[in-house]
Amino acid sequence: MRLLKRIGIFSVRSRRVVALGLLVIAVAVFGVATLAWAKHNPTTVSVASAVRTSAPPISKSETANAPATLPAESGTEVEVVTLRAGGFEPDEIVRPAGRFILAVSNHSGTTGFVLHLDRVNGNRLQEVNMPKGRVRWNPLVDLPPGEYQLTEQSNPAWVCRIKLTPR
């Protein structure tokens, strides 16, 4: 703008119009960049994508006819857990027992690790190898009331406690 002012070619009004135009362009570029970032951000998990990539359900009893996925309109709730460099966020989930999708997303910078879903003072429900390049694990779980924990094998301090209350 100083250059335009020095040259004196444009009037004050013209300089204001140019400045306003540049501001509009900057806001538009910022908006497009934000939308592109949100579309590719792994922390934004929709029910449809979580259901589409979900593993077979972990249930109270193993059944041969247990569905691997649910239609997105089924109203299945999703609990999102993010693995960061310092551990799981959130570090605790309290919810009613029943069917839900546990959507785990890796933002730790760590590659090639193993997740465990265990009943506290009980048995291991699932162990999942997360090889390099895999950033999501979205199992459909149907667990009875009780206390569970999600851990990472090589980092014992990384724990997400899951407390399922009676309905």
Q: pLDDT for 67-81, tens place per residue?
A: 334 444 567 899 999
97: burial class by Cβ within 10 Å (0-12, 13-18, 19+)?
Answer: middle
- The two tokens of residue 122 are 């009980």
Calpha distance 33→9 (Å, rounded): 34
Going across the sheet that includes 92-96, the strands are 92-96, 155-165, 146-152, 113-119, 124-130
The region of weakest confidence among 17-21, 36-40, 114-118 is 36-40
Q: Give the integer Cα–Cα distance in Å for 82 and 110.
A: 13
Q: Is the dihedral of CA 80, 50, 154, 151 positive or negative?
A: positive
- The pLDDT, as a whole number, for residue 9 is 63
Residue 4: pLDDT band with limits 50, 70, 90 = low
